[in-house]
Structure 1
């Protein structure tokens, strides 16, 4: 299986004011990132507000993304949760599983399992499904950290566990995995702030939120880093670093949807318990965009 390199985009789910899905906005977003040289797409991740979507809505969203994906880039599908048996059933109920490059599955949240519990969770998934799995580690959201030793055990013991989206925010944790991982296992940055250190340390790619707002810049930055053109890569990063800060100031995806609305891609609406971006956030983003584009 060909490894994933470069820039992946964690797509939002655009909504209309009445909270129905805005499929026109979603098509426009997919076309926008495809036109600006991203390398793969991620559907139904955290940034897509997946926790607030019904089963039928998820299916319609995936079909819309597949239809709009005119470049036929690899598509990763988010299927995760804290009920192991339910995750297995969900993955096995997917029609045409082979059209997805991999399933992105978050470490169980709220239950706060031990490292052995996390290991057994992913072992149960890969033993019961045909899918390739990318483990998603995001301790801020799950309440537990998938430690490097656990990641390496999974990587060495199951060929279908093909990578980790590492969003602990800890560069050293990524390096500990990169140092000892099998050759065909990918370390993917799940944090826009540390994409460059992860790539320069031997990681393969990023699943990015900010890449929706600046797909051309992030794609170029990642490409430069992979060619070891460090100074040029960091010059792009420093242009957008304040905006990365801003898109998380009022939560994700509130911030990125505010930015996407400003640049004319889709509406800023989110579903409760998230709230729409404040006028003050929008003003800060507008001022910063002028600086970035000047």
Structure 2
């Protein structure tokens, strides 16, 4: 799975002012990522707001990204739910021929035990025709997938090939890197700790801020993988303030405002999310002007 080493981005879903999917803007954003040196694209991850989209809208997003990408970069599809059967049914019925892997979030809301998490992903691994990347994000799911559970899954199922680790705990990330099987990818899901994770042996990132500044962020990851530490940290600190800003009032409201400033799409989000306030919008605009 070396094609998923480096910088992936969790694509937003741009909406028009009437809240419909803006396919032209989505095509622009895909091209902006590719031109910026991104290594792969993640479709319908949390940043894409799939929780507020219906089936037809999701299909439209998938088809638009596949067409715009035109085979240029590997694609990863987000397929996750707290209903295990819903995930396995989709894996068995969906045409996944355009995708390299799926990204599947640990079950949210239900708060399963570690055994429950294991059994959930066991069912997914057995149903999936593609490699599976686990996604651990306790801030959204209300439960933490422990390293021991990850190792158990990685050793038991050859098609579980990596984890997007977003617990915000660098010690846990290092435990994953230290104990993982050979070839298993530990991918940062926290933009702010991406570089430390890469330098500790991580495989890269699935990023939000990289969407806004793909050249700078993907170059930072590349330098980190090459162990060019001083050069990589120079880029990290150049971007760091914007990472805090885009998550300050919720994702993807912050990154969508960056795209608005870049002229790529409107900054429309769907309820219960709302736009960033005027103060944060002003700070984001000033940062974009400085960096872009």
Q: TM-score, normalised by structure 2?
A: 0.98
Return the offset for 1:2.
4.0
C-alpha contact (below 8 Å) 1:27/1:65 kept by paired residues: yes
Contact 1:187 1:205 (8 Å CA) reproduced: yes
The aligned residue for residue 111 of structure 1 is 110
* Distance (whole Å) between structure 2 residues aligned to residue 100 and residue 223 of structure 1: 23
Structure 1, unpaired ranges of 5+: none
Q: What does residue 9 of structure 1 align with?
A: 9
Q: CA offset at residue 290 of structure 1?
A: 3.4
Aligned to 2:75: 75
Deviation of 1:3 after TM superposition, in Å, equals: 4.8
> 2:65 maps to what in 1?
65
- Secondary structure at the aligned position of 1:98 is classed as coil
Corresponding residue number in structure 2 for 1:129: 128
Mapping 1:172-211, distance limit 5 Å: 172-211=171-210
TM-aligned CA deviation for residue 71 of structure 1 = 5.4
| Structure 2 equivalent of residue 159 of structure 1 | 158
> Per-residue deviation at 1:32?
0.5
TM-score (norm 1): 0.97
Q: 1:257 maps to what in 2?
A: 256
Partner Cα separation in structure 1 for residue 238 and residue 246 of structure 2: 14
| Alignment match, 2:148 | 149
Q: What is the alpha-carbon distance in structure 1 between the residues aligned to residue 25 and residue 2 of structure 2?
A: 31
CA contact (8 A) 2:105 2:136 kept: yes
Tell whether 2:94 aligns with 1:98: no
The aligned residue for residue 54 of structure 2 is 54
Alignment size in residue pairs: 292
Offset at 1:113? 0.2
SS class of match (2:97): helix
Unpaired segments of 5 or more residues in structure 2? none
String of CA shifts for 1:78-110, please: whole Å, max 9, x gaps. Answer: 000100011100111111x23211110000000
Contact between 1:3 and 1:184, CA under 8 Å: does it hold in 2?
A: no
Contact 2:91 2:127 in 1 (8 A): no
In the aligned structure 2, how far is the partner of 1:75 from the partner of 1:3?
Answer: 10
SS in 2 for 1:188: strand
Q: 8 Å contact 1:106–1:136 — kept in the other structure?
A: yes
Distance of 1:179 and 1:253 partners within structure 2: 32
* 8 A contact 1:10–1:41 mirrored in 2: yes
**1:222-266 Cα deviation digits (max 9, x unpaired):** 111011000110101101111111001110000000111011111
Output one character per residue of 1:176-210: Cα deviation in whole Å (capped at 9) or x when no partner: 11111111210000010000011001111100000
Q: 1:120 aligns to what? A: 119
The DSSP-based 3-state class of the residue aligned with 1:130 is coil
What corresponds to 2:45 in structure 1?
A: 45
Q: Please, what is the CA RMSD of the aligned residues?
A: 1.1
Distance 1:241 1:129 in 2: 37
- Contact 1:75/1:100 (<8 A) preserved: yes
Residue 4 (structure 1) shift: 1.7
Assess if the C-alpha contact under 8 Å between 1:225 and 1:233 holds in 2. Answer: yes
SS in 2 for 1:99: coil
Within 5 A, what are the aligned runs for 1:239-250? 239-250=238-249
State the alpha-carbon separation in 2 of the partners of residues 279 and 135 from structure 1.
36
Q: Which piece of structure 1 moves more, 79-88 or 121-130?
A: 121-130
Structure-2 separation of matches of 1:243 and 1:54: 31
